[in-house]
Amino acid sequence: MTIEIKAVTEENRADILALHVSESQTSFIETVEKCLQDAEDCRHYQPAGLYFNGELVGFAMYGWFPEYDEENQNGRVWLDRFFIDERYQGRGLGKLMLDALIRHLARLYDCRRIYLSLFEDNVHALRLYQRFSFIFNGELDFNGEKVMVKEL
- Catalytic residue (choose from 62, 88, 115, 129): 129
Q: Does the annotation mark 45 as catalytic?
A: no
d(CA 129, CA 132): 5
Taking alpha carbons only, the member of 90, 97, 99 closest to residue 132 is 99
**Distances 147 to 21, 59, 144 between C-alpha atoms, Å:** 22, 20, 9
Exposed, middle or buried by CB within 10 Å (0-12, 13-18, 19+), for 44?
middle
Q: Which residues are catalytic?
A: 129
